[in-house]
């Protein structure tokens, strides 16, 4: 045995008085904290995490499910298949079996595909600055970059990108346009 291996063995056998063995055992046997409602409802406490997720049609380890293709391995498999000349589908049928609680994966997929409302908004000061620029210069971004209120010395391309982003937030953009039209009428 090498010296490093001996040290590792001694380290494993060393007693640690600071560790509460009971608490450590309880922690290892404790069920995982599940924040997802769909998974929580379908969870069976008597089964392991890996088995529970497999029953739901979910992957415990993504690396096992989606493997990186290996050309050499694929060529060897193809050669073995040709030598055997009998393509058995029994191996593939076992993998394609539908999980018992497939509805969990379907619910999660539907939830992920559902449209979400956009929470991004520009700060009020920036929105007012861009409204001022649009009102004063229209679409002339080079003139906007030379404006005296351009304290951050934004280039015309930066201003164009930020105004494009500002126009992409309809609630804020429409609100500023309405405020400008109301100021013009009064």
Q: How far apart are CA 134 and CA 24, in angstroms?
A: 64
Q: What is the DSSP letter of 141?
A: H
Calpha distance 105→124 (Å, rounded): 41
Give SS3 for 119. Answer: coil
Least reliable range by pLDDT among 6-15, 24-33, 50-59, 137-146: 6-15
> pLDDT at position 99, please?
80
DSSP 64-81: HHSPPP-HHHHHHHHHHH
What value does the mean pLDDT of the chain take? 83
Q: Would you state the structure tokens that stand for residue 131, as one six-digit string?
A: 């409204």
Where are the extended beta strands (E) located within 46-135?
Answer: none
Q: Above 50 in pLDDT, residue 94?
A: no
Report DSSP letters for 153-186, one per residue: ---HHHHHHHHHHHHT-HHHHHHHHHHHHHHHH-
Q: Where are the domains of the chain?
A: 33-113, 124-185
**SS3 state at 142:** helix
pTM equals 0.46
Regarding predicted confidence, which is higher, 165 or 97? 165
Residue 93: pLDDT band (50, 70, 90) is: very low
Instruction: State the DSSP H helix or E strand holding residue 82, giving kind and residue range, or none if neither.
Output: helix 71-84
The yes-or-no verdict on residue 163 having pLDDT over 90 is: yes
Report the pLDDT averaged over residues 105-116.
88
| DSSP symbol at 121 | -
Mean pLDDT is lowest, of 19-23, 80-84, 95-99, for 95-99
Q: What separation in angstroms does the CA of 166 have from each of 116, 128, 144?
A: 19, 11, 15
pLDDT band at 12 (very low <50, low <70, confident <90, very high): low
């Amino acid at each position: 045995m090498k010296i490093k291996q001996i040290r590792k063995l001694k380290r494993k056998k060393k007693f640690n008085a600071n560790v509460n063995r009971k608490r450590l055992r309880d922690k290892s046997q404790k069920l995982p904290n599940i924040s997802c409602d769909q998974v929580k409802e379908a969870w069976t406490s008597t089964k392991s995490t890996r088995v529970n997720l497999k029953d739901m049609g979910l992957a415990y380890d993504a690396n096992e499910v989606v493997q990186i293709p290996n050309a050499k391995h694929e060529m060897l498999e193809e050669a073995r298949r040709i030598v055997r000349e009998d393509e058995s589908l029994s191996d593939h049928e076992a993998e394609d079996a539908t999980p018992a609680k497939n509805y969990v994966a379907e619910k999660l997929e539907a939830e992920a595909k559902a449209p979400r409302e956009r929470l991004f908004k520009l700060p009020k000061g920036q929105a007012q600055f861009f409204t001022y620029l649009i009102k004063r210069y229209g679409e002339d971004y080079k003139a906007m970059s030379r404006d005296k209120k351009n304290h951050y010395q934004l280039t015309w391309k930066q201003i164009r990108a930020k105004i494009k982003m500002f126009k992409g937030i309809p609630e804020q953009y429409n609100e500023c346009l309405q405020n400008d039209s109301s100021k013009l009428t009064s």
